Amino acid sequence: MAKEKIHFECSNCNHVSPKWLGVCPKCGEWNTFTEKREKKKSSKKHKVEISESDNSEVVRLSDVGTEHQERLSSNLDEFDRVLGGGFVDGSFTLLGGDPGIGKSTLMLQTAKNSPNLKILYIAGEESGAQIKQRAARIGLTGENLYISSNTDVQSVIHSARKLKPDLLVIDSIQTLFSDELTSLPGSIRQIRECSALLQQIAKKENITTLMIGHVTKEGDIAGPRILEHMVDTVLHFEGDKNHFYRLLRCIKNRFGPAQEVGVFEMNEGGLQEVTNPSELFLSDSDLEVSGNAIACVMEGTRPILVEVQALVSSSNYGTPQRTASGFDQRRLSLLIAVLEKRAGLHFGDQDVYLNVAGGLKITDPAADLAVISALSSSLKDQVVDKNTVYIGEVGLGGEIRNVSNVAQRIREAGKMGIQRALLPKSGTAVQNNIEINTAATISEFV
């Protein structure tokens, strides 16, 4: 009789080794190898019956109906904005975010604002009593919200078939498991298998499904990247725990625009929508100090006014410090080099600190001109007019380049009472009762 084969498998990345190892050579995690015994392969193929008939109809594209499908509204304008107008019937959505950022609260808020939606909430991390306690804080009675603490994916599929909910919420995908696999819940094989089964349920039985996923230290969705390819929409719920605001950002959307952003504010009553984010990120202080400048950045299709703060001071050490919060530090070093080379300003013996007020993280290159203005203002200790907005990208040659959506940015500035705007000279003319100034290079600007 042949001996039973034994190998060791990493529970984090499924790396296989013939012997036990203390640290996985593939993912670097410690004490993750578990003993596995090879079982005889069963001739019966693992198959989950999704529909009563396995016959799928093949049709021509020209014969496919094009009737308009109504979306399921969450009755949260910011949430619907990010989704492209609401949930598409039968869509498969992935929501990621840091622990405690408000992902589960957002789902309960959706249930509160949409009492007509039948929602099945699969809670793998909390009991029903804990969810009811959180729901009571935001005033949710939950007449049409059904809770299940089962984490077996087969039982979840059975419950979804039986209840036929309008929205199926999985909190979270890392807690589901299939008993057909020997690996632990949260492993790559379990996540891939459970997601594939839920995708079939969403598509073949037209059950709108939303999965909540954990994130790694780098902010990526925990698990394989295939998760983001399997779903229709990928949402990231982000924010700073030191601030009350939350950003819901769309990374991928098959049914609407990507990179759309919704803004919420967390308070004791739950998540409240912020209809005018510019008020949130602009300082209300009338104190006139150097180093402050206003930029207008685009988050998806929404213009937001933000305040950029810079502090330039003499260095007490041999190597000056360069610190940025809410802005790319490498981009900051590039702009400092351009100022030194093209505008004749000297930062070699100066510490530079840059901060975006409100904790917002900006990547829009249109904020370059505001950063240049804040750095120059702090270095020269000259106050910048707080009623001026700076819009433009800065190139390595010191040229100020044009950016997109200038007219939309200017309109947003006008709504917030901004009186002047400084734009690239190559930009298009904008008429919005705002004084327009232009500059071609940063030497001319400074």
Annotated binding site for ATP: 97-104
The full length of the chain comes to 446
Cβ neighbours for 431, distance < 8 A, ≥ 6 positions apart: none
Which residue from 390, 386, 378 is spatially nearest to 297, judged by alpha carbons? Answer: 390
**Bridge partners (DSSP) listed for residue 293:** 308
Sign of the alpha-carbon dihedral angle for 220, 224, 229, 234: negative
Distance between CA atoms of residues 193 and 153, nearest Å: 9
Distance between CA atoms of residues 294 and 373, nearest Å: 9
Helix axes 368-380, 329-342, angle to 10 degrees: 60
What SS3 class is residue 171? Answer: strand
What SS3 class is residue 138? Answer: coil
Query: What would you measure as the largest C-alpha separation in the chain, in angstroms?
Result: 90
Cβ neighbours for 439, distance < 8 A, ≥ 6 positions apart: 392, 400, 422, 424, 425, 445
What SS3 class is residue 416? Answer: coil
Distance between CA atoms of residues 76 and 276, nearest Å: 15
Quick count: other Cβ atoms within 10 Å of Cβ 18?
A: 9
Distance between CA atoms of residues 214 and 281, nearest Å: 28
Per-position DSSP letters for 241-288, written without gaps between them: TTSSEEEEEEEEETTS-SS-EEEEEEETTEEEE-S-HHHHHS------
Q: Tell me the one-letter amino acid at 100.
A: G
* Feature table: binding site: 97-104
C-alpha distances in Å from residue 390, one per residue of 146, 386, 430: 50, 10, 14
> Residue with structure tokens 């240049």?
372
DSSP 16: E
Distance between CA atoms of residues 240 and 248, nearest Å: 12
Q: Tell me the one-letter amino acid at 111.
A: A
What SS3 class is residue 334? Answer: helix
DSSP E strands, 98-244: 119-123, 145-148, 167-171, 208-213, 233-238
